[in-house]
Each structure stands twice: as C-alpha cells, then as structure tokens.
Structure 1
Amino acid sequence: MDKEALLDDLMSNKGTSSLLSGQLAIKVVIDNQYIPPLITGAEEDIRASFTSLGHVVDSVLSDQIKTIALVGSAGSGKTTALEKFIVDWAKGDHCQKFSHVFLYDLKDLSCDSQYSLKTLIQQNRHPFDPESMALVLQRPENVMFVFDTLDLYKHPLDRSEHTLCSDPSMPITISTLLASLLHGSLLKGATFLVATRPTDSLKFLEGFKLELLGFSKPQREAYFGKFFPDPHVANIAWQNMERTLSFYDFGSSPRFCWTVCSVYKNQLDAGERMPETITEICVNAMAQIVASLALDEVRAREVVLALGRLAAHCCINPQSTCCKHRIATLGLKQLLNAPLLVHSLLRVDGNMESDQCILSFHSQLMQELLLAVSFFLDKTIAKDATELLNTHEGHVRYLHLYLAGLLNPSQRRPLESLLGAFNDEQLMDFKCWLETSSQKTVEGYHKEKHLTVFRLLHQSQNNVLVKEVITPSARIGISYGGLGLVDCVALNYVVKCLGGMECLNLYLANNLTEEGTDALIPAMGLSQKITLSNSSLSAASVAHIAKALREGITKELDLSHTQLGDANLKVLCSGLRACKLHTLNILASGLTEACCGDLSLALTSSTSQLSVLDLMFNKLGDQGLVQLCQALENPFCKLQELKLRSCQVTAQSMEALSTALCCGQSQLRILDLTGNTIGDVGAEHLSQALQHPHCNLQRLTLSATELTGRCCQRLAQALRSDHCSLVELDLSVNELGPEGALQLCKALRKPGCPLEKLSLTRCELTQVVFTEFGLLLTSGGSQLKSLSLALNDVGDEGMKSLWKAIADPCCLLEELSIEMTQLTDVCAGDLCASLRASRSLKSLDLSNNKLSDASITALVQVVQDSPFLQEVNLKYNDFSEDVFEIMDECGKINY
C-alpha cells in the first residue's frame, strides 16, 4: 500500500469522538493536537532521548530486533501513537527504510475466516497491485506490519499452538497466519510494531518492549494548551486538573485528559465552575452522554439502570465482558439500537448481529460510576450498601469513591436533573455505613485503612461528615509515611476540614514526592508538630516544607535520620527565619560544618522562635560549633536547648562556647555534649562558664567525653559558686575514679548547691564513694533528688550506706539507679527495710543484678505496701518463672 493511499485511508476515518472512548486518533494527529506520551524502554531509560514513537523505533530496530511491543494501559495513547507513527512515515519523517507499512486493528479481523498472507494484504483497505505484492515478498526486510489491540485478540498466538506456515498463498486461520508472521515462519525478515495492554500474550513475543507511560505534568500542560485556543483559559483549566485530578494513577492517560478537557470546556461554556473531584468529572461526562440521547426522565432512568445491571455483571465477570446471550436477560437489547450510546460507553467485539458478540465498557471509571448511580436510583442492584459492597469486593477500584462522592447533592445534581432524584433511603443507608465503618477504622492503628477513609471523605467534599467521622477517639496521629500523591491530597483535605492537627506523622516517608509535599503544605501549616524522621526528601520537597513553616503554626519539626544534607538544610533555613517553630530535630542527617553558617543566620533572625535544636550525630566539628556560638551571642537568638551528641567536637571549641555562655545574651539552659572528645581541658572551660553570673546553664551532659578525675576539682569549684545555676549534671561513662567523685560530693555538701540530678554511671566508683554519698544524702544540705550510680561494681557491702540514707527522713532522693552493681540476695533485708522507711523514693532501678527468687516475696510485699514507691525495675535478675505470678500481682514492678 503506497504512502499516499495509506494517508487517504487514515484520514477518511469518520468515526465519532466520545467522552469515554477518547478522541479519534487521526483527528488528534491532523488537528496538530498530538503530544508524545512518555515512552520508556524495557532495557534502558530512553525517555530523555526521544520525542516520538518514530524516533524510538528508528533507534531500537536492528538485525537482531525485528519486533517492538508498545505496552500501555487503557487510554495511554497506544492507538494514537501508532497512527501518528504511520502519518509521520507516510510524510517521510522516519523509518524510510520501509517501502511498505501495513496497519491492522486485530479486533477487527474475523477469526472465523481463512486468509493467505496475500489475501490479508489485499484486504488492507485498498487494492494492492501485483508488482507491489512481488516487492513485498521478495524484500521482506523493507516491510513493516503494525498490529493494534493485540490484547483483544482472544486466540493464542504462541508457536506451540500452531503449525506454522511459510507459503504466502496458502489460506490458513487468521490466528495461524498471525503466529506465522510474528514467529518468522512467514515473510521472514519483516518488522512488527505491536500495541497491547499488559497481558499474558506478551510472553510469546521476542524483541524490544516499550512502555507507554502517558502524560507527565509538562505534557499535560502542553496538551491543555493545544486543546484550549485561549492560553489563559488553557492555563486555568490545566491548573485545576493538576490541583484536583492529576494525583490519580489514570491522570496521565491521554484519553482521560481529553475527557477532562471536554468536560471543562462544557462547564466553562455554560459559565459554571470546573469540577473538583473524579466523581464530578465522571458525573458531568455521563450527564453529557445521557443528555445527547434526548430521552425523557423515565426513559433515561431506565437506560441508566440497564447500564448499571451491565456494569454489575461486568464488574464480577473475570473478563469484564458480557456475552450476547446475556444481553436480553439484563434488559439491554434495546440499548444496542442506540449507536451513540454504544459508541460512547461500550466496546463491541464481533458482529452486532452475531451470537459471538461481546460487550464491555471502554472505561472502568464509567463502568463503576454506572454501578454506583444505579444503586442510588433504586434497589435493583442491591438492597443496601453492605450487600452491594460484599458482592463486588475485590472486583472494583472506584465504587467506594463514587458512592461517597454521590452523597454530596452538588456532585450528583447533573444526573438528577436528567434522571430524577436519587433514592433517599439508599443514600441514607450508605451514609450510615460510611460513618459507622469509618469511625471504627480511624479508632484503630492500620495506616492503609485510615488512608482509605481519608480518600472517601475527600471524595465526599463534606466538612460536616469529616468532623462526624474524625471524633476525639480517632487515632489520626499514627504514622502515615509512604503516602502516594492521592493520599497526600486526601489527608490534606481531612486536616483542613478539622482545622488543625496535633501531630502530622509522616515517619519513613521514602516516596514523598515534590508534588506530594506541595499538596500537604496546608496540612503541615495546620499541624503543631510534623514528624518526617527516617524519610527521604528532595530539595524541592524541603522548599515546600519551608513554605509550610513560614505560613503555618508548626512548633515542632522532626527531620532526624533524613540525610538532609547541608544543601537541603540551607533551603529549610529560609523557612526557619520567619516561623513559629520552637523545636527542630535534625539528628543524624548528614550535616557538616558547612551548614552551621545558615543555621546561625536563621537563629539570629529577629522573627525566629527556635528554642530547641537537636543536631546529634552530625559531623559539625569545632568550626561548626564556633559558628553556632556566634549565634548564641546574638540578642535575637532564643535558643535554650542545644544537643550536640557525637558531633566531632573537641576541647578546641570549648573556649568559644564558654565565652558565648558568659556573654550576657545567651539564653541557653540545656547543653548535651555526650560522645565528644572534650577532655579535662574542655571541661575546665565549661567549669569557668558555670561560675559566671551571666551563664544560665541548668542542665549539662558530658557523658562519654573522655574526662578523668582531674577535671572534678574545677567542676566542684563551679558547683560551690554562688552564681552556678546547674540543676542537672551527667558525667557518666568517664574515668572519674573515687578521687574525682569525692570532690564532687564535697561540693554537693555546700548549703545552697542547686544540683538536683547527678549521673555517675560507669565512672569506676568504689565503696568509699558510695559511703560518702550515703553521708551526703543524710546531711540535710544536699538537694539531690535523682542519683545514678549504675555500672559501678561495689556489691552488697558497698550499698549499705545508701540503704541507710534512703531510710533517713533527711534524704530527699526520689530516683535511684543502681543497675548492674553486683547486688545479691544478701542485701534484701537492708533493701526492704530502707524501702519501708523511705518517705521520698519514687523510682528504683535494680536491673541487671543477681537477685533471685529468695528475695522476691519480701520485696514485692514492701513495694505493694509503700505509698511512695511508684516504680521498681527488676529486669534481668536471676528470677525463675516460678515467681513471675507473684511479681504480676504488683503493678509497680517491671521485670
């Protein structure tokens, strides 16, 4: 078939475009409305390299690759891509090595007839002269066959199912003919371009597979620009599509985009607003189709109910089809006499007059909408929502969404104006079902079920319904990490309806896209706390978070373990300078000293409210801390708590930190330097700061900072200072030894020493130190209320002085940790006596010791009888299961 004849044949196709089956492919091409969908190769990503199917084919074809399968979902643009390919070839744009290209829609080929290859070519719409036929048979490498709708061809094409033929003149079944061509027995060397939905029929095809992905966001914008002549209208329509519908997986479908544009145009021409939900879009599309039939209300209602029965049958049928012999039983026979309706909604496979005729819906979206609409019209489909949903469970994707959307009077109004009012009883039944099931769901902890409820509520567009479902007992603070775009939109809608959220928990949001973050900006802005720990965030996503912080009320943000990095933190800081954020957690997020300048600028902004900053486990180093110290000296800096655990800080930066603490501007109250190599020199600088009248530090953690007993003299001096405001001090996991600890004890004896909490866990303490602490606690001068002496091996003898101290009425101690101090049953008597006498102790940690069953009865009795003790930790002692029941009787004991 020559190029000119092929073009004439294509352009003479006078079919009718419809909202549901899409615009005619050739009309898209000749009207210059074609936008190439995204195409990706099965073996390599080729999206960035090619702009049309023709370019892809030119690149992929080789002596080894003769078959290309174009795979895509319904409406993804396969047929249009094929016809654009044919037109471009005929115009000389690509693939000019082929002298002949033949296009076949496989669903139109009769399976009952026999064809030879020559007959098949002759029936390609135009007579084919003998000279051209001879050229095709002699030079098959210059011939291409283009087969559309392979997925609709119901007969097997695997070579094992056929006796392949090599004679182009021999009449054979069409399935054997196709198999012989595709497997190279007939016309060996020819090239094949095949379009199909994802199907098992792909298994027998050898060659290169291309996936048609549909439209990306920029392609949708370009498509809208071609559909609407007015650029301003096109932009408004495209933005509405992106805001309200692009998040559905079918939003990339060119067919769906054409339907959306058609509905938008109709609404704009009528002076009405554009739809906001998928229910509105499809209801308006259906209303246009029903209106075009020009039926009265009674007849229109009958037609829709008949279509609803067909939809119910197709939803449950594994092939989503209806055979000819079922048509009469469903009351559909009269529908076949309405070509416009059939073309708009239904696909007919086979001759309409044949008993082999098969009906199915062009669009699953419309199939399930008809099911939902017919349920609300009367009780023909199902007597109630439970029956409807149980019957179709596992067979539908959109039914729940439509049922929820149609509860909204404004969304169902276009159909009610044509069909009459929906059944109030059916509407109320589904509303009760939705409220009851949704309330139960959101009181649980199953994330996916929560998101399903949010999607339904979003589809309903009903603020009152949201508040009825999300009651105070709802647990909407559970983690919603891993959100798709549609979930982001739905969650955002729910939060907006509620007017705010205590905690927006997006923990482990590894696939949160830029679009998803953008959709969540209002919800984030309405949340008191945002948790994004262990998430993966792009720079664009961080920019949206920064915007939400600037515009919202968020007071706490958790970005720990996000590998945020310096560059992304710089983006975030644009929001930190002017927001209500009080607490920022960016623990273990891949930060270095390079980010500290941006942090410092944010902290010193006159509008910054940041008072708690957690930077633990980042490689800030001394230079990074020095830059943060400069912020502490600024009067606008409101930082009160700074956590720098394991940030590679050394003694080198402690002088700068000490200076900042004493400058008179710093508001810092809490400082954690755990896991840094501060050493005695660094501790000396900090001790000097603690004595300064302008130092406001109240809690200092220096655990595991390579201290020795030599630093304790300076620390003790600071504790005795009249200006020291330190209430909590943690020196755990340092080699202080007894000499260092004894110096601290002497300082704590000074009347007025403010220290209330001291931790000396694993500091190589001895019995002498424990004895001194016993004396300290009974001296009447100590303010200690919490003491940890865990992981110091002193045994039963070493603890005696502490037991006596606890029993003393002068002792103020409320918390005591003596984990792993080698205690045995020998101490049980003294322990029980001290607990019985104590009037202050509330919490006691005895875990990881060597207490056994012999001690448990007396200990449990004492704990139960004590009106002061609230918690005793006995985990990891030498108890047997025989005493578990005894311990269970006391709710204060953990074991």
Structure 2
Amino acid sequence: MSSDADQVEGGFSSNSEHIRPHQTEAGGDDVKSQKKPNMTEVYKSNLRKKFECLCEGTSHERIPTLLNEIYTELYITESESGEISNEHEVRQIERQSRRTATEDTPIKCNDIFKALPAQDKPIRRVLTKGVAGIGKTVSVQKFILDWAEGKENQDVHLIFPLPFREINLMKNQTLSLLHLLHLFFPETKEMEISSGEYKVLFIFDGLDECRVSLDFHSSVRLCDVIESASVDVILTNLMAGNLLPSALIWITSRPAAADLIPSECVDRVTEVRGFTDKQKEEYFSKRISDESLNHRIISHLKSSRSLYIMCHIPVFCWISATVLERMLSEAESEGEIPKSLTQMYTHFLIIQTHIKLQKDYEKKEQNDEDMIFKLGKLAFEQLVKGNVIFYDEDLRECGIDVAEASVYSGLCTQIFREEFGWYQGKVYCFLHLTIQEHLAALYAHISFINNNTDVFNTTTQLTQGEKLSVSVMLQRAKDKLSICDLHQRAVDEALQSKNGHLDLFLRFLLGLSLESNQNVLQGFMTQTVRSSHSNEKTVEYIKKNIKSTRSPEKFINLFHCLNELGYRSIVKEIQHHLKSGALSEVKLSSSQWSAVAFVLLTSQQELHEFKLKEFVQQNKAENLKVLKKLLPVICESRSVQLSYCKITDEGCAALSSALRSNPSHLRDLNLSENKLGDSGLKQISTVLENPHCKLEKLGLWMCNITAEGCVALTSALRSNPSHLRDLDLSGNDVGDSGVKLIATVLKNPLSLKSNPSHLTHLNLSGNNIGDSGLKLLSDLKDDPHYKLETVW
C-alpha cells in the first residue's frame, strides 16, 4: 500500500487554488492537524451508525441485527491472473465448490489493499468479483464498519461508499466530483479532501447494477475535482487514475460484468468464495433447531448433488432451509421433496405466497396470480436487458403501479424488495438473481399455457441494442404455438447469448414443463398441458444442437438442460460426444471440465464404472488435467479404470488425495500400464490404509514397481486388511524381497482373524522372482488356512 508521503506526492492536486493544501506560517500545520481528527471522527461516527446493523424481515417490520454479532469471515482469494469469467454464475458456483484450498491465495477482507510478500507494486485499485448472494456487499459493510470503529486500515482517513444502484439515480446529471461527494456526504463540505492530507478510499459496490455508460476509451480527460462533467466521465477518470490519482479504489461486481473495467485500471482481482461443506452443515445446524429434522435436511441435500453444490452460496442455504424445513416436517410431509433446482424454487415461491395469504395487509384484492405474473414480466424483461436492479420507470413498463410497489415488497419480501437509497429515490430488486431467473421462466411458461403467447414476441418495445437476437425469434413466430416451439426458441436465444445470461432461465423453463412442477403450479394456470411428447421433441432438438455447437459453455449447458428434462442417458451422451470429437475445434478449459464433472454427478444415474479413456481423445497430454477435474466423479464411482492413460506419480498424488476424502465407494481400481513407480504406489497405499477404504480389486500391472513400493503396499494392507481380494502386480520388479513382504502380510494372524477369507487372487508373474520367492508363494497357495484360489 502506498505510504502517506506517496499520497502527498501522488497529486491530490487540483487546478483550483482554494482546495490546495493551506500554506501556513510556523505552527499552522499544528492547528490544521488538531482540526482534522475532529472532522474525520464525526464522519466515522456517521458511517458507523449507517453500517453497524443489518436489517432483516419485511419492509414494514425491519429487525436490526448487529453486524458484528452475526458476521462470519468470508473466504476471499486472489484470482488466477485476474481473469474474467463469462460463464453463467451457477456454473461458477459448481466450479468453485470443487476447488481445493491449495489452488487459492487467501486474502483477508481488511487486507485487500496490502501487497503479498512476493508483490512489490502498491495495490491501489481492487476489483472483487463474486456471484450474486455470495457476500460482496456484506464484506464491504464489514470493511467500512471495522474502519469506522478504529479497528482496521486506520492509515485511510476517509472512505466514500458509492453503490452503483444509487449512482444510477444521478446518471443524467452534470456536476463535479466534489459536488457529488457533498450530495452523498454533506459532512464533508468542511473538509479539503483533495488537499493531499487525506488518504481516501472510494468503494463502488455492484458494478453489475451500473446503468451509467462507462467509456474508458473516451478522449475526455478530467483532472480537477471541482470541474463539472457527466457522472460517467467522473467515474472513468477516477478509476483510470486521472482524477485523484492516489485515491484507493475498490469495485465489487458479479463476474459477468467485471470486464467492464479494463485490466490496466485494476491492480488486483479478488474473488469472494462461498460456504465450504463444513460451513454448510454449520449453517443448517444453527438455522434448524430440531436436530433430527436438521439431519434429514442435510441428508436430503447430499443425496441431490445439484442442490448440495448450490448451497455453496448462503442465500441458497436459506432458500433450501425454508422449503425443506416445511416439507420434511411431519405436518407438511405430503408432496414430492424437491430434488432439482426448478422444484426447489417452485416450492419456495408457493411457500412465500402461502405465507402472504396468512398476513393481514390492506390491499387484499391483489390476487396472487396477478401479482406473480407482473413480477414475472418484470423479471423477464429486465433479464433480457441484463438488469438486476429496477427503478420506478421499470415497474411502470410492466403494469406495476409504483404506489403498489411497497405492497408487493411487503407481501413478497423474500422474493422482491424495495430499498431506500442514501441520497434519493428508491430501488427494487429480487432477493437473488436465480429468483429473478425462475420468475422470468415462470412468466414465459404461464404466458404460453394461459394465453398461448411467446414472450419473446412481446419484447418489441426494446431498443435495437437491447433486443439481442429477438428479431430472429420474431421471424419464426407462428399463429399457434406448441410448448416445444417455445422451448426451441428459448434454446436458440440462450445459444446466442454471449455471457450465458439466459442459461439458467432456460433450465428453469424446461423444468417447469415436467408433471411434478405442473402439479405444484396448478393455482397459477387456467389449464394444464401434457408435455411428455413435446419434451421428447425438445430433447431431440437439444441433442441436435449439442452436435453442432462449438462453444464449450453452451455444450455444457445443453447437457444441464437434458438433465432438467429428466433425460436419463446423459453420461453416455457426454462420452459419445467427447470421444467423437464434438469439441475438436475447442479445448475444454479447467472450469469447463469441472462443469462436465458436475453434469455427470447430477445425472441421477448411479456411477458404476469410470473409464478415463472415455473422456479423452488422442491428446494424452490432457490426461492429467482431465483426471484432476473429474476426480469428483471418480470419488463417486465403484469401478475406476485408468489403465493406459500415462498417469505418473503426480496423477497418483491427486487421485489419492481425492480418494482419501471419500474412499468408501471404490471397489475396483485399475492403474495398469502407467509409470507410477514406487512413489506413485506409496500415494495409492495411503488410500488403502484408510479404515473406510473397501477396495476389493487393485490392478498394478506394468507400473515400474519394485520391492520399495511393496513396503508401502504391505504396510497399508496390515493397517486395513479386510477387503482386498484381487491384487495384480504382474510385469513389475518386486523380486524375492517383495514377495517376502507380501507373504508376511498374508501370514499375519491378525489379518486372518479380522478377515478369514482375505486375498483370493494374487498375480506376481513377470517379477524376476527367485526360488525362495516361488517357494513362499507355493506354500501360501497350498496352506489350507488361507483362501488364495489363484496365484500367478
């Protein structure tokens, strides 16, 4: 971080004489230093009052909760090479949930401006990205509160929090930076904030909510804090370093919008990560007081991997707890327990509207169907535009009376919220991006079922720049639609989206056509539709697009869509397309392979056998990367076939690390014809010695193993001798000494006592075994106390 001296020299200078540092006579600086603490302490006190509480509950019944009492330190990491991801947020959640801590460089929230030991460049501008609901805004709030309470970052004199959702309200104004700050923070009028005496931090929270055009290529250069300009010019010049070049800048954003800031304007990119598996369980244990019910909820979530992975984000944990606490309790045990995202969100919506009916609000004439339909229209139209924050004019365009907005917010506070800004006006948002996507899909589905309307044809009021590829859809409009037509149009729209903003909308839309969700939604529809035949046509349409797409991200999402439709042959389809070269023109990245793993894990098919060769083509150099990314799948498979895959001791290290965390599924592991060596076998032996390991068959043919490797292997078998039945060590070089070690284990009385049947098949052919070794093997085979059936 820059020193205070750097801040003075760095040029908090201005062309305006009256805001330059005061030129005082002897003793003048002392007088000024006495004033500054008083002003900054007043400012800190005001910020502390604004940020010390979180408000929960409805807009009518806000319950303040002290942030310091409930805040849990979030896991923040320095992002790899500062890369920006354009994949859909749900896929990023899936990817993050599979990353290990060793892949990340952790950074405490209060240290984001401090350089790491290996970094000698000052960190002035930080971009923090993270999916919706992951905790970016709460991190900002805690950072400011710790500063205001005098706990952290006391070298910073002033922090200016400027959320984009409120800056949007000023997007058409022309003013100076100094005037803007005085509007938001009136108490700063007496401070000479550009004088160089103040080290300042600007926090711009929610870049993804920005409706101000940020043109970093504009020729308009702004260097004076009292020079008037448009808000976008002020922001870009501040971030680019032309205006207050030594000010610290912190920007938070959802990943899809993070590339709005050029890389040259960012010194560090950090990423807010979500709950670990342990933290998920901690959350539910705190949220659900009934221990038995809590156990049932966690068990159900673990049985549906797609739901358990989504619990990576805190807000989804709350959604799941809300739904499952009600549905798994004895009084509410009827109905199918949600196993997919669409089911979970649909039940959540029904529960929230049911709760609303029990409340006594004045406007009872507002019916559920009309309210949800209007909110769905808002969700859809703003999703198409890429907006997650809405204003009065947005509500009016969807037929929502602004005067009723507070009623909507009060009735559906857990779905739609009204918030009052610090400066002026009100803003609206859905509780989470996925809720907006689900409501948008519900609106599209209901519009078709009730009115045979294609919602893509109702977006003609959008500007040309906002329509994306809607014109293509308009050309295909028909007088009478089938639900398959709607699905195909949605598929086309999602495929043409550059940042995947319609991917989850598409999954929800397809999921809503299933009978289980149709039954839940009966109250919202005037009629029902039998969609089994249409869904079959949709499946074929998706499979056709899988064959033609060359985008790995679209390729993966289409498989998610098949899964949402209940298609049962996803694993075979993935293997077929990968082996046939469906992606021959595009190499899958690490994150995309993680997505493949997720699709396999959530395919609702029990994973019996995993063959790495089914997922790679001719490029064997990719094997190690693919192996690492598919480890979650391997951990859930009973048979793992890795022969002839050029796996070395490095691959064994990754494999054994994964299997140690979950060794109970595996029954058959074949590593034959790989150059594991003794070091690789030592890694695998750490899995075998795990008391939860139930491996029955181990293939190590032609793996460059010597007697040294047998030491680790036999040690593991002595620790956990109960399960291994078939051991193939042929084609190695274990020699007599290796045979002696194995025979010693087999003769161990403790081994016989714990498992009388023990090893039944042992292959040691091609190991240069001498006479003494052969005699030991012969004795083992002929001894009636042992169960060896075959010995080579």
TM over 0.5: yes
How far apart are the structure 2 equivalents of 1:180 and 1:442?
44
1:564-713 correspondence to structure 2 within 5 Å: 564-572=680-688, 581=696, 584-588=698-702, 591-596=705-710, 598=713, 610-611=725-726, 613-616=727-730, 618=732, 620-629=734-743, 636=757, 639-640=760-761, 642=763, 644-645=765-766, 647=767, 649=768, 651=770, 655-656=774-775, 659-660=778-779, 663=782, 671=792
Confirm whether residue 111 of structure 1 aligns to residue 146 of structure 2: no
Confirm whether residue 428 of structure 1 aligns to residue 532 of structure 2: yes
Question: Shift of the alpha carbon at 1:362?
Answer: 4.8
**In the alignment, which residue of structure 2 is the partner of 1:548?**
665
Cα offsets for 1:869-889 (capped at 9, x unmatched): xxxxxxxxxxxxxxxxxxxxx
Residues 1:279 and 1:661: Cα distance change in structure 2 (over 3 Å): same
**In the alignment, which residue of structure 2 is the partner of 1:123?**
183
How far apart are the structure 1 equivalents of 2:393 and 2:515?
38
2:235 partner SS: helix
Confirm whether residue 337 of structure 1 aligns to residue 400 of structure 2: no
Confirm whether residue 279 of structure 1 aligns to residue 342 of structure 2: yes
How far apart are the structure 1 equivalents of 2:597 and 2:777?
48
How far apart are the structure 2 equivalents of 1:548 and 1:102?
53
How far apart are the structure 1 equivalents of 2:155 and 2:174?
31
How far apart are the structure 2 equivalents of 1:236 and 1:151?
37
Residues 1:313 and 1:147: Cα distance change in structure 2 (over 3 Å): closer
RMSD: 5.3
How far apart are the structure 2 equivalents of 1:116 and 1:449?
44
Does the 8 A contact of 2:223 with 2:242 survive in 1? yes
How far apart are the structure 2 equivalents of 1:448 and 1:282?
24
**In the alignment, which residue of structure 2 is the partner of 1:29?**
67
Question: Shift of the alpha carbon at 1:66?
Answer: 1.8
Confirm whether residue 367 of structure 1 aligns to residue 437 of structure 2: yes
1:424 partner SS: coil
Q: Which has the larger radius of gyration?
A: 1
**In the alignment, which residue of structure 2 is the partner of 1:86?**
144
Does the 8 A contact of 1:116 with 1:169 survive in 2? yes
Question: Shift of the alpha carbon at 1:68?
Answer: 1.8
How far apart are the structure 2 equivalents of 1:69 and 1:451?
28
Cα offsets for 1:804-837 (capped at 9, x unmatched): xxxxxxxxxxxxxxxxxxxxxxxxxxxxxxxxxx
2:270 partner SS: strand
Confirm whether residue 392 of structure 1 aligns to residue 506 of structure 2: no
1:128 partner SS: helix
Does the 8 A contact of 2:77 with 2:104 survive in 1? no
Cα offsets for 1:467-506 (capped at 9, x unmatched): xx799x9998999997755334324x3238xxxx5x4445
TM-score with structure 1 setting the length:
0.58
1:136-175 correspondence to structure 2 within 5 Å: 136-157=193-214, 160-175=217-232
Residues 1:149 and 1:322: Cα distance change in structure 2 (over 3 Å): closer
1:57 partner SS: coil
Cα offsets for 1:408-448 (capped at 9, x unmatched): 655555543x42576133x334444367679999999x999
Match of 2:454 among 381, 387, 390: 381
Residues 1:207 and 1:542: Cα distance change in structure 2 (over 3 Å): closer
2:150 partner SS: coil
How far apart are the structure 2 equivalents of 1:628 and 1:207?
58
**In the alignment, which residue of structure 1 is the partner of 2:240?**
183
Confirm whether residue 216 of structure 1 aligns to residue 254 of structure 2: no
Does the 8 A contact of 2:406 with 2:418 survive in 1? no
How far apart are the structure 1 equivalents of 2:405 and 2:681?
63
Aligned length: 628
How far apart are the structure 2 equivalents of 1:432 and 1:402?
17
Question: Shift of the alpha carbon at 1:54?
Answer: 1.0
Aligned letter for 2:504? Y
Does the 8 A contact of 2:380 with 2:439 survive in 1? no
1:769-780 correspondence to structure 2 within 5 Å: none
Match of 1:7 among 44, 48, 53: 48
Does the 8 A contact of 2:162 with 2:205 survive in 1? yes
How far apart are the structure 2 equivalents of 1:141 and 1:478?
60
2:77 partner SS: strand
Confirm whether residue 419 of structure 1 aligns to residue 524 of structure 2: yes
Residues 1:335 and 1:99: Cα distance change in structure 2 (over 3 Å): closer
Question: Shift of the alpha carbon at 1:221?
Answer: 3.7
Question: Shift of the alpha carbon at 1:53?
Answer: 0.7
Bigger relative contact order, structure 1 or 2 (CA pairs below 8 A, ≥6 apart): 2
Unaligned runs of 5+ in 1: 672-895
Does the 8 A contact of 1:478 with 1:505 survive in 2? no
**In the alignment, which residue of structure 1 is the partner of 2:35?**
none
Confirm whether residue 70 of structure 1 aligns to residue 128 of structure 2: yes
1:463-862 correspondence to structure 2 within 5 Å: 466=568, 484=596, 486-491=598-603, 493-495=604-606, 503-507=609-613, 510-511=627-628, 516-517=633-634, 520=636, 524=638, 529-533=639-643, 534=645, 536=651, 537-543=654-660, 546-549=663-666, 557-560=669-672, 561=674, 563=676, 564-572=680-688, 581=696, 584-588=698-702, 591-596=705-710, 598=713, 610-611=725-726, 613-616=727-730, 618=732, 620-629=734-743, 636=757, 639-640=760-761, 642=763, 644-645=765-766, 647=767, 649=768, 651=770, 655-656=774-775, 659-660=778-779, 663=782, 671=792
How far apart are the structure 2 equivalents of 1:470 and 1:68?
41
How far apart are the structure 1 equivalents of 2:719 and 2:779?
14
Aligned letter for 1:178? L
Does the 8 A contact of 2:702 with 2:729 survive in 1? yes
2:665 partner SS: helix
Aligned letter for 2:248? T
Farther off after superposition, 83-92 or 232-241? 232-241
2:445 partner SS: helix
Question: Shift of the alpha carbon at 1:9?
Answer: 2.7
Aligned letter for 1:433? K
Question: Shift of the alpha carbon at 1:10?
Answer: 3.2
Does the 8 A contact of 1:260 with 1:281 survive in 2? yes
Residues 1:41 and 1:221: Cα distance change in structure 2 (over 3 Å): same
Percentage of identical aligned residues: 17
TM-score with structure 2 setting the length:
0.64
Question: Shift of the alpha carbon at 1:113?
Answer: 1.2
Confirm whether residue 194 of structure 1 aligns to residue 264 of structure 2: no
Cα offsets for 1:377-423 (capped at 9, x unmatched): 4332373343223212215323554356445655555543x425761
Question: Shift of the alpha carbon at 1:32?
Answer: 1.4
Question: Shift of the alpha carbon at 1:104?
Answer: 0.8
Aligned letter for 2:738? G
1:584 partner SS: strand
1:187 partner SS: coil
Residues 1:260 and 1:25: Cα distance change in structure 2 (over 3 Å): farther
